[in-house]
Amino acid sequence: MTPPLTDERIFEVVRRIPPGHVATYGQIARLVGRPRGARRIGYALHRCPSGLPWHRVINAQGRISLPADSTSGLAQRRRLSEEGIVFISGRIDLDRYGWDDAAN
């Protein structure tokens, strides 16, 4: 009887991702108690409030899940770069920049 997962619940977790680090959709899903609800995360982020560090959320392959040529896609990549995150062949090394939520 799990209650409906609200967007706010998701945003709370996203807000905890420290600058210079990234989290995956699946990771956020697990943190809110929906191990297989990764899709739900993307749905919520698509309509997230301003001020939320949405750019720190990427997919499990370390890639940005937005069209590379889209306005938001380019913005995400730029903002991550500004935080010191390095892209290698359009990909982010999760072992290095992945947010270690367990220790937080």
Q: Counting contacts by CB under 7 A, is residue 60 touching DNA?
A: yes
Tokens 């609800």 -> residue: 37
Check binding of 81 to DNA (CB under 7 A). Answer: no
37 binds DNA (CB under 7 A): yes
Task: Report the Cα–Cα distance between both ends of the chain, in Å, rounded.
Answer: 28
Q: Tell the smallest beta-carbon distance from residue 67 to DNA (Å).
A: 8
Q: State in angstroms the smallest separation of the CB of 100 from DNA.
A: 16
User: Which residues pair with residue 98 across a beta bridge?
Assistant: 22
Cβ count near 66 (within 10 Å):
19
The residues binding DNA (CB under 7 A) are: 4-5, 24-26, 34, 36-43, 45-46, 48, 54-55, 57, 59-61, 65-66, 72, 76, 89, 91
